[in-house]
Structure 1
Amino acid sequence: MAFGSPAAERAAIESTYEDTATVYRTAPKRGANCLSASVPDVVYSGIICALSYSGTNSSMQTNAQQNIDHDAVVFAGPDLKVLPGDMIVVKRFGRDDPSSTQEVTFEVIGRPSVYATHQEIKVKDGDLS
């Protein structure tokens, strides 16, 4: 493989991705009573990506609850337009066998860093269930 070719480098990087993702963006929808409500719409689905947890998190224990807050980075192709506030649902190890996956929900924080071969999307644990 010849490095210096963004297409070849992108193919090499993406061959290491093990996860898939769906990106949701909140959009206003008008209901039957002419009232607007914000609902998540699918922007992208089946994205080949890689999830990497950072070494830091801001988890903490209080007398009333355990707050678990993970920071992570989703690596994906550079052609996606992901915005701050979008929600990403990552299927761990879902590229080859979608039946044996675990879904993790994140919220995009800040603007992604976009390069010729990939983009790095900073996310925070956004599991609001």
Structure 2
Amino acid sequence: MRKIIIFLMVLYSINTEALGREFPANTIYAILKSVNYPQITIQEIPSNWGSSMLGLFFLSSATMQMTPASVLRDQDNNNQVQNYIYNIINQPVAIQPDYQGRVWLIWYLTDNETQWVINNKYNIWK
């Protein structure tokens, strides 16, 4: 019985690491380009070095308004103070808007999550 429990614990830990975090369906994946609080400018995540170099010409960008209660979460899902947003400029993020379209949650993406976003083409806005 003990071996079965240990096996299930190991199997569960492997699967959770492979999946990473789960994001809501309306999540926007982007690069945080600039912060002029309470507004942020975001851009599509480039899928390769060529689109990254030519990003100013080909990649879409948008400006979003932050809520006064916006929450930042790091790669370990720990909440961060809003002033840390300046440390993640030019980094890939996942943004969950509230019901009015304002920024409610911002997650810093890990390298694996960023690659997953690119592979599933969630980085391309329609």
Using structure 2 for the length normalisation, give the TM-score.
0.31
Give the structure with the larger helix fraction.
2
Give the strand-richer structure, 1 or 2. Answer: 1
TM-score (norm. length: structure 1): 0.30
